[in-house]
Structure 1
Amino acid sequence: MTKENIAIFTFFGATGDLAKRKLYPSLFKLYQKGYLKERFGVLGTSRADWSTDQFKDAVKESISGLENSAAEAEKFASHFEYVAHDVTDQAHYSALNDAIKGLDEKFEAQGNRVFYLSMAPNFFGEIALNIKSQGLISDNGYNRLVIEKPFGRDYESAKKLNDELTSTFNEDQIFRIDHYLGKEMIQNIEALRFGNTIIESLWNNRYIDNVQITLSESLGVEERASYYDTSGALRDMVQNHIMQIISQLAMEQPVAFTDADVRVEKVKALRSLRVYSAVEAASNFVRGQYSAGETGNDYRDEDGVPEGSNNETFVAGKLLFDNYRWSGVPFYIRTGKKLADKFTRIDVVFKKPLIDIFAFPQQSDAALSANVLTIYVEPKSGFALTVNAKSAGQGFETEPVNLDFFQDAESEKEVPEPYERLMHDAMEGNSTNFASWSEVAYAWKFVDVIRRLWNIEDPQFPNYRPGTMGPKASDELLERDGRSWVYKLEK
């Protein structure tokens, strides 16, 4: 049985691309599945001088690609209202307050309010302060704040923003959204680890040689150049998505699968992450910037990118944890634009047997392969375990074989989109798959060292061609340790 959620949403940045591509379709799917029924309302607001009818038309257009009838779309849109608003003008908040109260009364929402900030992050703190000072906070229901990344540009700016937010909302009311935490196979990490003794018993430095995380994008910066050049791959991907994935891979088993207990263990893992000195950062992290390749432009020649920009479009690095479970096990990461393909995967490489008993009698150069557990996050969802088995035929040769599971097309249809899942969790008050302030803080402290080093170095860009897996230094990072990437392009 699905439980109906009752709430009034206020979307700041309601006319933006994210709202139209992700937020409204996700709300509509919750509506179709019965998680939202009659007792919800949506107030959209932005600088755009729109009418409510224009807003409803935009909402209906945003869900036009989903299975629905005109009557169903019309009924869904009837829950939406629009107020043009300047977030820096305190006087405008009274109009928002009146509209929210009107929607609350119309849809009997019991004072439950979700404020969703999908706009420029430099306004986050000001909006939160005005929500409180201008009386938009409900006294008889819940109040929750959902905010998009980026959460600051470094530790200091993130702390300043957090202080502004927590002057209005308590930590348990703040939901820092990271859509990677809404992906099905990222949420499967806990299930694989803590639901299977055969895996969790081996999940330590005695049996695991290294862990590899790859977030690969095939496109360039496209129309995001103005934002991306102020962010780069380190801030855009490593500080949030990758650090969240790593914390789930590295954390200890929580007392119970609750948001509070999971967060405790993730924070403990990040506390043990070694924060590098500048010298260590230079040795353990590499960056890259794509060239024109066969077609297209060098990154520096893309529209909106300043001439001579040293912004990185690729990052690879080695992370180390100073704790009992992971001491000596490197976590290798890489992410970048204009790489060979678009995919996200996690490869857990286990140690080989201390003695290969098959090597001597067969007098062969063939050695046992390492067992590898691969978690395929996207575009396909599933996992595979590479094991060694005897090759068919005479003699005794071994070969690696895959034991795998992938979701079929029917199962994929049942999987909620990340934003659909996370908006439902926010209404439920479940913060398991949202980043806490402590997690954000430790991630920034780690990343800041690398960023400060790169700010004073003059890189030799561009240094990798589109369609590859990044600069040669990325491969050398592992080769130096006698290892290699599990996923590599066939030569």
Structure 2
Amino acid sequence: MSKRLPQRGGAERPVGEPSGAAPATGTPGDGTAAATGPAGPLPHWTNPLRDQGDRRLPPVAGPCGLVVFGVTGDLSRKKLMPAVYDLANRGLLPPGFSLVGFARRDWADEDFSQIVYEAVKEHARTPFREEVWRQLADGMRFVPGDFSDDTAFKQLRHAVEDLDAARGTSGNYAFYLSVPPKFFPAVVRQLKKHGLANAPEGSWRRAVIEKPFGRDLASAHELNAVVHEVFGPDQVFRIDHYLGKETVQNILALRFANTMFEPIWNRSFVDHVQITMAEDIGIGGRAGYYDGIGAARDVIQNHLLQLLALTAMEEPASFDAQSLLAEKLKVLKAVRGPADLGRDTVRGQYAAGWQGGEQVVGYLEEDGIDPGSVTDTYAAVKLEIDNRRWAGVPFYLRTGKRLGRRVTEIAVVLQRAPHSPFDTEATEELGRNAIVIRVQPDEGVTVRFGSKVPGTSMEIRDVTMDFAYGESFTESSPEAYERLILDVLLGDANLFPRHQEVEESWKILDPIEEYWAAHGRPAPYASGGWGPEEADEMLARDGRSWRRP
């Protein structure tokens, strides 16, 4: 490559060093140990206010490093590398933090640093600071090779050992598998073969896996078995980036930190729940991945069923990973799929149409798509939960591409008042009360209720009360990958689905996929609309209708 930046040399102060802070002490591997380098200890800074119990201040990772496989992909360039920089810029990474890239490129360390630099400049959320960049770049290394190359993995081990000595990472490393699932077995077995999965005494090693976690129950079970040959369950972090979004975490706060919502969060007051993830884009350059996977496997099995679990779960004993897992598992095990798969499930495929003022092609005309493909780009299902809280309350889940707008929301729609003293004419424009949690793009919560229209007559219409993150808090929400990467480095598994959840989700979806595979083609729908007519008919049979966000 022709471009070069000065990569070596430390910043004037370590990344994240608060003014006047003192170095922390601790035992190796517990996340608080002081890092060591060639010239002696590198200070690991903590915030004394947080040490005194001020929870407003986020925790800082201890000495550690991150190894990213598939570092040349879009996910790494657009999300992972910028997230690492943003964490460093916020002072949440240790001064000796190290980043190792592994990919099939004939690059030197400086080439890799240049690629990361360009990704950070283009996609980072926080302002660029030269001193932060220099400190981060000084700990970057690149290892060229493919996943069957023993020599490359030997070189990776040497790189990790060198960074332990030079940067004081204390043997603590997370291995991020930003690669297709078919490569997971090869990577984890190479890590085991070359001793990279085994942490030195007092240190830790962790594996981070991107979805999809299999394509059905059998493949998910096989994948989990392969990964757990090398890493224990507590060492495996399955990334579902939706769980890192502030508004998803706010579901728990909304329900369990307030007394106004939880008393009505049950079958006595809730009519139904709608969970929507709509995208206004097509498949873009993802034809190779998406065709044969489809909307249900890509989104419902993970994102939407996780949102359902958080919405429907009972209050956990605490918010540690095991307590959250226990309650989410109870809900997923209680989910009952449609009794009539023909009536209560819909799959669709976008056709040509207009999107954002431009004419777009249909799915079958996209580059790389087989003209006879039956892959679903839209999926809607009706589920119920067999427990005392939710018996008889339908949960409608839908997702699709080329829909009217990009939006993800959870709408808890309440029952109508059992008796109304108002004339029918007074309430003819009154809909159902609803609590809507907006996950993206306008993060917040909306409560919809009826209010009298000003004037001499009694006329009632829907109004809304809105909470928006951007208006209520001065600090912008961090990207999901910032939160999740930091949690991996801290060993906090709260926001990561465990293998039991993955397998229970496939048990819900597999019968639906099997039915679809045996029954014809997906229903076509025009790009820019809200999906096939069959999806509207599915709710109409229940006397309900989809929300139009």
Report TM bin, short chain. Answer: over 0.9
- Do 1:12 and 1:45's aligned partners in 2 also have CA atoms closer than 8 Å? yes
- Do 1:352 and 1:368's aligned partners in 2 also have CA atoms closer than 8 Å? no
AA paired with 1:248? L
Q: After superposition, where does 1:18-417 map in structure 2 within 5 Å?
A: 18-65=75-122, 66=124, 67-136=127-196, 137-140=198-201, 141-276=203-338, 280-294=340-354, 295-359=359-423, 364=426, 366=428, 368-408=430-470, 411=473, 413-417=475-479
Distance change >3 Å, CA 111–CA 365, structure 1 → 2 = closer
Aligned match of 2:517: 455
CA distance in 2, matches of 1:480, 1:221: 31
Aligned match of 2:546: 485
AA paired with 2:376? E
Distance change >3 Å, CA 72–CA 255, structure 1 → 2 = closer
- Do 1:60 and 1:74's aligned partners in 2 also have CA atoms closer than 8 Å? no
AA paired with 1:41? S
Aligned match of 2:534: 473
CA distance in 1, matches of 2:61, 2:498: 26
Give the Å deviation of 1:241: 0.6
3-state SS in 2 of match to 1:289: strand
- Do 1:233 and 1:312's aligned partners in 2 also have CA atoms closer than 8 Å? yes
Equivalent of 1:423, from 482, 485, 494? 485
Give the Å deviation of 1:457: 1.8
3-state SS in 2 of match to 1:147: strand
Give the Å deviation of 1:152: 0.6
- Do 2:450 and 2:462's aligned partners in 1 also have CA atoms closer than 8 Å? yes
Distance change >3 Å, CA 453–CA 4, structure 1 → 2 = closer
AA paired with 1:441? E
Give the Å deviation of 1:63: 0.8
Structure 1 residues 104-150: Cα deviation after superposition (integer angstroms, max 9, x where no partner): 12111111110100011111122112212221121220111111011
Give the Å deviation of 1:486: 2.4
3-state SS in 1 of match to 2:147: coil
Aligned match of 2:18: none
- Do 2:96 and 2:167's aligned partners in 1 also have CA atoms closer than 8 Å? yes
Distance change >3 Å, CA 4–CA 445, structure 1 → 2 = closer
TM-score (ref. length: structure 1): 0.95
AA paired with 2:166? K
- Do 2:61 and 2:486's aligned partners in 1 also have CA atoms closer than 8 Å? no
- Do 1:8 and 1:42's aligned partners in 2 also have CA atoms closer than 8 Å? yes
CA distance in 1, matches of 2:206, 2:435: 38
Which sits farther off after the overlay, 238-247 or 37-46? 37-46
Structure 1 residues 194-234: Cα deviation after superposition (integer angstroms, max 9, x where no partner): 11111011110010000001111001111111111021101
Structure 1 residues 307-364: Cα deviation after superposition (integer angstroms, max 9, x where no partner): 21111110111111111111100001111111011111111100111111113xx665
3-state SS in 1 of match to 2:99: strand
- Do 2:362 and 2:527's aligned partners in 1 also have CA atoms closer than 8 Å? no
- Do 1:11 and 1:44's aligned partners in 2 also have CA atoms closer than 8 Å? yes
Structure 1 residues 416-465: Cα deviation after superposition (integer angstroms, max 9, x where no partner): 1000000011111111111111110010111111111111221265x111
CA distance in 1, matches of 2:389, 2:145: 51
- Do 2:427 and 2:460's aligned partners in 1 also have CA atoms closer than 8 Å? no
AA paired with 1:306? D
Give the Å deviation of 1:398: 1.7
3-state SS in 2 of match to 1:64: helix
3-state SS in 2 of match to 1:383: strand
Number of residue equivalences: 483
In the alignment, structure 1 segments of 5+ residues that lack a partner are: none
Aligned match of 1:445: 507
Structure 1 residues 145-166: Cα deviation after superposition (integer angstroms, max 9, x where no partner): 1110111111101111100111
- Do 1:5 and 1:35's aligned partners in 2 also have CA atoms closer than 8 Å? no
CA distance in 1, matches of 2:522, 2:254: 42
Which sits farther off after the overlay, 401-410 or 423-432? 401-410
CA distance in 1, matches of 2:473, 2:298: 31
Structure 1 residues 248-295: Cα deviation after superposition (integer angstroms, max 9, x where no partner): 011110011111101110001000001446xx2222110111111142
AA paired with 1:434? F
AA paired with 1:20? R
- Do 1:41 and 1:104's aligned partners in 2 also have CA atoms closer than 8 Å? no
Equivalent of 1:10, from 43, 64, 67? 67
3-state SS in 1 of match to 2:156: helix
- Do 1:234 and 1:315's aligned partners in 2 also have CA atoms closer than 8 Å? yes
CA distance in 2, matches of 1:97, 1:63: 26
AA paired with 2:542? D
CA distance in 2, matches of 1:446, 1:68: 45
Give the Å deviation of 1:487: 2.0
TM-score (ref. length: structure 2): 0.85
Which sits farther off after the overlay, 349-358 or 407-416? 407-416
CA distance in 1, matches of 2:61, 2:488: 14
Distance change >3 Å, CA 96–CA 410, structure 1 → 2 = farther
Distance change >3 Å, CA 365–CA 84, structure 1 → 2 = closer
Structure 1 residues 390-422: Cα deviation after superposition (integer angstroms, max 9, x where no partner): 221112222222121112268374311000000
Give the Å deviation of 1:365: 6.5
Distance change >3 Å, CA 473–CA 12, structure 1 → 2 = same
Structure 1 residues 158-210: Cα deviation after superposition (integer angstroms, max 9, x where no partner): 11110011111111111000100011111100000111111011110010000
CA distance in 1, matches of 2:530, 2:353: 13
CA distance in 1, matches of 2:334, 2:391: 10
Identity between Structure 1 and Structure 2 (%): 39
